[in-house]
Structure formats: structure tokens, C-alpha cells
Structure 1
């Protein structure tokens, strides 16, 4: 038991001398280990080393402790998992390629359909609708001439008209304006009789502005005594269609031939 340095509460007990206090402190500084304590210390150190080694070799020891049949079963299970994952990867890649192919086909189909619709509109082979203007020309004195009608078509085209119909005839790139045997205006072989009705699909405000150009179609007709009325519409139907004639001389050239 360690000696106490507390002051005695008994009045008859004398305090230790300086020399006695030094001897007691020296005794406390000396460590006395018996054989049992030494063995316990060594066992503790060895146990710590063993625990570290066990942690480091845990995985290897776990595999080494398995029997051959258990190792084979573990290997078979791992192989089965790998095969299942590989099949899933293959299925996902097939799905991706199929979806990409479908998207590519759909995009190509949409682009081809859009080009076809544009060509059909330009060729006048399908009815179209959209915003535009209606031009009514009352010409009781037959003041309109071939040149005036050509000017009207050109002014509408310059203003961005995507479809033009005069009377019951669709105006296309190959349309021809002429004069009939009796002096009447003929459009693609059809005689036009007043009052004239011109339909044009496009930006209505722009088309109406083109008809109001000073010295243009409207001014020329009004100067000759005709009456011109332009009406803008949000939805206009051009229902006349053009039947293209089969080309006799021109043939398409493939892109490879051009190169």
C-alpha cells in the first residue's frame, strides 16, 4: 500500500522528517514486477501481434480454410454471376442499338416526308392552307392584260407566296400566261374571265404590302379603271392542284454521277 503524505489529524502524531519523506518517494519510484506480471505482459504483446496478423491475412485465411468442394461451389457461383451480368450487358447493348436504329430511321423518315411535302407544295400537286391574302379584281372594261397578270404573279412570289391560285388554276413554276383566240387571258390553257380571284398563301401582311407597291399591279389596274380589293386572312385554302406533265427530255442525275 502506498504511503500517505497527508497531515495526521491526531495531535499526538509527529510529521515525517525530510529524510523519511525522501526514502518513501524513492520507494514509490521503484517498479517491482513478479514472474506472473512479466508473463502477463508478454502474453498481451503476443496477442496484439497475433490480432494484427489475423486482420492482414483474414481474406486469405478465409479461402484457405474452405474445403475443395466449397471452393468449387464458390467458383461456380462467381462464374454464374459473371455470365448473368454479361447477358444483361449484351441485352442492354442490343436495346441501345435497336433504339438508336429506330431513332435514326424515324429521323430519316421524318426528313424525307418533310422534303416530299415541300416538293409537293412547290409543284402544286397537293392542296394547301395557311395565312394569306385574297385579291378580287373587278374588271368590267377588260383592262387587265397579260403583262399585268404576270406582274401580279411575280410580285406575290417576290413577297414569299408559297402557293398561288388564280381562278381554278394552280400557279406553278411552269405556268404560262397567254392570250386566247378571242383576246382573253389564258393561264395554262384555261381562259380567265372577270371578276378575277387570286389566292396567295404566305405572310398575309407582307403579301398585302406587295400588292400596294406604288406603280405595281394594283396601281396599274386602278389606273385602267378596274377595282382591286385585297383581304388578309389567317386561314386560306388553296384547293386547286396541278397535274405535272411527264418530262420528255430531262432526266435526274445521281449524286455519284455529279462527282
Structure 2
């Protein structure tokens, strides 16, 4: 007698056709499996791309030296290198002075010598001593153009940045930290002259500067510098190096009304 329970026939699995490998490849492409190495490489590449984009944007925003001549860039680099060298020399000198002051046998003589050196240095910086030395003579000819306070002040600042130790204008006015410069109008908005510390100076303006001649000359004659600014408004500048510049005008010191020494640091040590 036949078994009433029907036999269960297993489902027939159709063999994989040619479309199945394609679907599998498509799924792997849409849902890739990332290994640890691939993930690290992707992060590094993303960071590199971000840094490159930031650099490109920074270059687009800062175009101060775009189009500058190679000689101008070299002169600017040399000026910065010399300024850094002067700073290192000054640090070495101060270190030697400190070591001498710490010594018990030579502390008195070293302190006296240091005090005299500081007196001369502060006298030169304050403009109360006549000085001489190598430097440059800069002649500024406005040629009827608008050369005035803006250009002169920028030029003086560039000279200070280049290591100028003493500055004088037209053999009459000593330029110090407190020097004030204003324009004198000649009508129609034209600058007729400049007034330096209350003294009216007529053009051309002759600026005598003591310092390293090469550094000073390159410190004002570069693309976008003092010479360029004067020429842009129609003036002319001549820079002459000299092995001997004499500055004889003196700055009259003023009695201080408001600034007083710190009572907690009476010797001005700054500590």
C-alpha cells in the first residue's frame, strides 16, 4: 500500500547565469569593503588635499611680492639676514657682559665700563651726542608732487628696520623716537614742505643715516618700499653710500611730566 505522505521534493536551484557575477561585482563596487590600510591612506590623502587648498588660497590672498624682481627679493632676504646677525651679535655681547658682571674680581670695572657704554649709546639714540660713521645719504626730490608725511614716515621706519643708528634731515633736525612730522599745505591739496619737530624743512629733503651702507640702501630700495612709494606719486629718490657721514644736529630733551620710574623697580632692571 503506498505511503499516503507525499514525498518532499527539494527545490531546484537554477545554475548561476551570466548575470549573477555582474550583479555581485556591482554590489561590491557600490558597497566596498575598506581595509585598515586603505582607510589610513584615504585620510592622509584628504589631509594633503586640504593643506594644498589652504596653501593655494593663502597664496591668492597674499600677493605682496608677486611680480617682484629677483634682485629685490634677494636684497630683502640679505637685509633680513643681516638684521638677524646683528641681533645674534648683540645677544652674544650682552651674554659676555652678564658673565663679567657675575665675576667677583672684575665686577666693579665691568660695571663702570658698561655704564659708560650705555651712557654713550643712550646719548646717540636720544640725539644728544654728535656722531659720525658709515651710512647713506638719501635725497628726496618731490618734483612738485605730493611727497609728504606718509612717504617720509614710511622711509624713516624702513631705515630703522634696516638698522639705522642715527638719522638727520637737511642738516637741521635730528630724528629720534619722539620725532613728529606734519605736512605744510601749499594750496590745492599739494604738500609744499614738511615740519619736523616744529622746524619747517623745504624740499629737496636730504636724509643722512648712519649704519651699514649696504643694508640701509637695500632696506629702502625694493619693490613696494620707500623709493617705490615716492616714485609712485611723481617724486624721485637718490641713495648714495658713504664711508663717512657726520650728524651734528642735536635733539633738545624735554622734561618729562607724566612718566616716572616704577617704584617697585627703582633701578630699571625690568625684573
Cα distance in 2 for partners of 1:255, 1:124 equals 29
Look up the match of 1:135. 138
Look up the match of 1:203. 212
Cα distance in 1 for partners of 2:121, 2:166 equals 11
User: What are the within-5 Å matches in structure 2 for residues 74-223 of structure 1?
Assistant: 103-167=106-170, 168-180=172-184, 182=186, 184-223=193-232
Q: Which has the higher helix share?
A: 1
Look up the match of 1:243. 252
Name the larger-Rg structure: 1
Corresponding residue pairs, total: 160
Q: Following TM superposition, by how much is the alpha carbon of 1:236 offset from its aligned partner in structure 2, in angstroms? A: 1.1
Over residues 115-157 of structure 1, what are the superposed CA-to-partner deviations in whole Å (9 max), with x where a residue is unaligned?
1111111111111111110001122314312100110111001
Over residues 174-220 of structure 1, what are the superposed CA-to-partner deviations in whole Å (9 max), with x where a residue is unaligned?
01111236553111111121111001111110000011121121112
TM-score by length of 1: 0.57
Distance 1:256 1:218, change over 3 A: closer
Distance 1:215 1:256, change over 3 A: closer
Look up the match of 2:97. none
Q: Following TM superposition, by how much is the alpha carbon of 1:244 offset from its aligned partner in structure 2, in angstroms? A: 1.1
Q: Does residue 227 in structure 1 map to residue 236 in structure 2?
A: yes
Displacement over 4 Å in runs of 4+: 100-104, 254-259
Gaps of 5+ in 1: 1-99
Q: Following TM superposition, by how much is the alpha carbon of 1:255 offset from its aligned partner in structure 2, in angstroms? A: 5.7
- What secondary structure is seen at the aligned counterpart in 1 of 2:167? strand
2:133/2:210 contact within 8 Å kept: yes
2:145/2:233 contact within 8 Å kept: no
CA-atom RMSD, angstroms? 2.2
Cα distance in 2 for partners of 1:255, 1:107 equals 26
TM-score by length of 2: 0.54
Cα distance in 2 for partners of 1:173, 1:119 equals 12
- What secondary structure is seen at the aligned counterpart in 1 of 2:157? helix
Distance 1:255 1:114, change over 3 A: farther
Distance 1:254 1:131, change over 3 A: farther
Gaps of 5+ in 2: 1-102, 187-191
